[in-house]
Amino acid sequence: MKGRLQKSNKGWVVLYTKCHPAIMVKEFNSSLPLHPDPIPQYLIGEVIDNGFAKVEFEIVKNYIDEHTNQIQSYAKLINDTIESRENFHTEDINQTASKDDKERIICAAIWYKELPTQRLLPKNIDRGIVICGHRHGQCIDIMKTLGELRTVTFSPDGVGEHEQGFLTNTNKFVDRLEAAEIAVKSGQVYRSFLHNPRVGLFSEDLY
């Protein structure tokens, strides 16, 4: 059966059209509570973005609710949704992205533009040093530990001009705004999940 998954004040429900042979009925005139299986993350993202997600489901009857010990009918999602083959499945981001060769974000990075040029740089950088890490704070700590320099622009012990960004799987350094576009386009994050779209991507948006 086809329906719409959405969040109500009573929890997750699936709306569907219950037909009657003798009368004309409105679309999505009935609803069922969602079966307590885990909801795929990409469906939650669709509900956040659109208010609902199109799904295929089956009605599971005679399910005994462990809290009330009553017989209850639920809408149990079928693994594939109507549009799932066109949508990104976030539960296996790296595997999917590697299959379709999409450019994607792999880690945080800081480009220190005024420091002596290192030998191995991202392909679009021609000077300075690029340090990568799980978070930008790790990049800053590495610079402080190994280079004994603070990640500030104007200070005797500062690094000079620098820029926070990310490294992609194509060995390219990108700033926060470009990184946000890459992450959204590749399906690594929904635009509505970005903490501050005007600034761009934060590592916390991804992991």
Predicted confidence (pLDDT) per residue in 70-103, tens digit: 677 888 888 654 444 344 444 444 444 444 578 9
| Chain-centre distance for alpha carbon 194 | 9
Where is the domain boundary, 86, 121, 153? 86
More confident residue, 36 or 5: 5
More confident residue, 146 or 29: 146
Q: Answer yes or no: is pLDDT of 180 > 50.
A: yes
Contact call for residues 199 and 176 (beta carbons, < 8 A): yes
Same domain membership, residue 74 and residue 10: yes
Alpha-carbon distance 176 to 172, whole Å? 13
Same domain membership, residue 152 and residue 78: no
Tokens of 133: 């890490």
Amino acid at residue number 186? S
- Percent pLDDT > 90 in the chain is 41
Same domain membership, residue 113 and residue 73: no
Q: What is the mean pLDDT of the chain?
A: 82
Where is the domain boundary, 63, 86, 109? 86
Where is the domain boundary, 54, 70, 86? 86
Instruction: Tell me the pTM.
Output: 0.53
What band does 193 get if pLDDT is binned at 50, 70 and 90? Answer: confident
Containing domain of residue 12, as a range? 2-86
Give the number of domains in the chain.
2
Same domain membership, residue 138 and residue 157: yes
Same domain membership, residue 97 and residue 71: no
Same domain membership, residue 78 and residue 109: no
Same domain membership, residue 68 and residue 33: yes
